[in-house]
Amino acid sequence: MTQTFDLILSGGELVNQDGRGQRDIGVIGDTIAAIGDLSRASAGERIDCRGLTILPGVIDSQVHFREPGPVHKEDLETGSRGAVLGGVTAVFEMPNTNPLTTGEAELADKVSRARNRMHCDFAFWVGGTHENVADIPHLERLPGAAGIKVFMGSSTGSLLVEDDAGVSRILGATRRRAAFHSEDEYRLNERKPLRVTGDPNSHHVWRDVTAALQCTQRLVRIAREQRALIHVLHISTGEEIEFLAAHKDIASAEVTPHHLTLSSDDYAHLGTKLQMNPPVRETHHRDRIWQGVADGVADILGSDHAPHTLEEKAKPYPESPSGMTGVQTLVPVMLDHVAAGRLTLERFVDMSSAGPARLFGIARKGRVAVGYDADFTVVDLKRQETITDQWIASRAGWTPYHGKQVTGWPVGTFVRGAKVMWQGEIVTPSQGAAVRFHAAL
């Protein structure tokens, strides 16, 4: 009897837990139903993927999409449009919106704004604060919650838990892995006079290596005391990579495309566009973060997509806000590193799909396996393109990579069986849904 599927991706090279090789994929409804030679099977739609490579859907577990609040920079629809145009199938969005995502009502509001309006799947980080500690066990398990996020150093917005006692209480309450912006607020305050008006290159002098390292050391000590799991976001220093290597039992680490691709040399031509928290630093940090990728100390990639308009960015430093777009460029920028031999494709999949699923306990995502969600990032490893501001769907309308030539490009994005993006066009109306987690099933 001929097998029948709703969708077959045929003739592509698949990269998954089974290695790398030519395999067809059969999808029924939103689920992967078969992997192998499906040349004799029938399908509602058969997509010829010869010459293309199929990856498990890329999950970006750190984006700021600004809704509700400063939606002139971004909203959930535009942010997720950028995500799927860039090959990203699910995002975890950050709580520094307005109002802050710190309670059940604010989380439910985001979930209802996102459902069937976002183009990709989604979860929302809930901000941990001094005030909501007692609610954390409940909040972190609500539908659509990615977990608890804490800012230990001030960045965009007002979320802040700078003190050991506050972090300790939060980590005493979490059961899931909590995510941290790790920069020491006390040191940032002391060093504020080091900011040089009009010189964004002083940003990494102000927010220095010690501010990041010291905070990460405090955080790991507290996590050990509380027997809690932590996730250190956007590692910017070689020192933290080397320190975290000794704490892999409790601490996971995220690295970003900008810390792996750009360096303080780029302040000269990017100016405040490069201004980011934690900062982009000297090339030797970039090299040591790459070492962390090679060694496996760095667990996952996240873009930290943090859009601000060009007008806002044009303010003289330090009035200019910190942040740059990134969700749409994560895949092409990292595929270009693959093409240059700095990263294997298997390791990219480990860091962008299997890794987030493993760290955060995502149900049915992170691998191309029968019974899993049919989420695929289809890429052309040989395609050469130039990244431009015009390609960027973000309301911010710019990218620090404008003019960068890359080899490797996302050509298709499938979310739970729906062909959402194909060859640069969004071809299916938005039907994003909340990511499900083992801890909250």
Choice from 102, 156, 217, 325 touching ligand DOR (CB under 6 A)? 156
Question: Which phi and psi angles does 90 have, rounded to 5°?
Answer: -150, 145
106 Cα distance to chain centroid:
21
How many residues make up the chain in this entry? Answer: 441
DSSP string, 332-358: HHHHHHHHTTSS-HHHHHIIIIIHHHH
149 interacts with ligand DOR by CB under 6 A: no
Closer by beta carbon to ligand DOR, 218 or else 358: 218
Question: Which residue in 75, 184, 304, 380 is the catalytic one?
Answer: 304
**DSSP code for 397:** -
323 interacts with ligand DOR by CB under 6 A: yes
Closer by beta carbon to ligand DOR, 8 or else 276: 276
Kindly list the strands in the beta sheet with 53-56, ordered across the sheet, starting from the edge strand earlier in the chain.
19-22, 13-16, 53-56, 376-386, 405-415, 418-422, 425-426
Closer by beta carbon to ligand DOR, 26 or else 153: 153
Report CA dihedral (308, 312, 315, 318) to the nearest 10 degrees.
-40
Q: Is 37 a catalytic residue?
A: no
Tell me how many residues contact ligand DOR (CB under 6 A). 10
Kindly list the strands in the beta sheet with 42-48, ordered across the sheet, starting from the edge strand earlier in the chain.
31-36, 24-28, 4-10, 42-48
Closer by beta carbon to ligand DOR, 169 or else 234: 234
Give the nearest distance from C-beta 341 to ligand DOR in angstroms: 30
155 Cα distance to chain centroid:
17
CA atoms of 208 and 289, how far apart (whole Å): 16
Closer by beta carbon to ligand DOR, 12 or else 278: 278
* 195-254 residues near ligand DOR, rule: CB under 6 A: none
CA atoms of 146 and 167, how far apart (whole Å): 18
Site track 243-282 with ligand DOR (rule: CB under 6 A), x = hit: ---------------------------------xx-----
Closer by beta carbon to ligand DOR, 169 or else 203: 203
181 interacts with ligand DOR by CB under 6 A: yes
Pair type for strands 230-232 and 42-48: unpaired
Site track 61-90 with ligand DOR (rule: CB under 6 A), x = hit: ---x--------------------------
Contact in structure between 324 and 276 (CB atoms under 8 Å):
yes
Contact in structure between 187 and 162 (CB atoms under 8 Å):
no
Closer by beta carbon to ligand DOR, 53 or else 62: 62
396 interacts with ligand DOR by CB under 6 A: no
CA atoms of 339 and 281, how far apart (whole Å): 24
Choice from 10, 53, 102, 155 touching ligand DOR (CB under 6 A)? 155
Give the nearest distance from C-beta 219 to ligand DOR in angstroms: 15
In angstroms, what CA-CA distances link 111 with 146, 174, 240? 12, 21, 34
- The answer for residues whose C-beta is within 8 angstroms of residue 141's C-beta and 6 or more apart is 175, 176, 439, 440
Give the nearest distance from C-beta 236 to ligand DOR in angstroms: 10
Give the nearest distance from C-beta 180 to ligand DOR in angstroms: 11
* Residue spans of beta strands (DSSP E) within 244-329: 251-255, 300-301
96 interacts with ligand DOR by CB under 6 A: yes
Give the nearest distance from C-beta 113 to ligand DOR in angstroms: 18
Give the nearest distance from C-beta 70 to ligand DOR in angstroms: 9
Closer by beta carbon to ligand DOR, 156 or else 352: 156
Give the nearest distance from C-beta 258 to ligand DOR in angstroms: 10
In angstroms, what CA-CA distances link 227 with 131, 170, 252? 22, 12, 14
Give the nearest distance from C-beta 306 to ligand DOR in angstroms: 4
CA atoms of 28 and 33, how far apart (whole Å): 6
Binding site for ligand DOR (CB under 6 A): 64, 96, 155-156, 181, 276-277, 306, 322-323
Residues forming the active site = 304
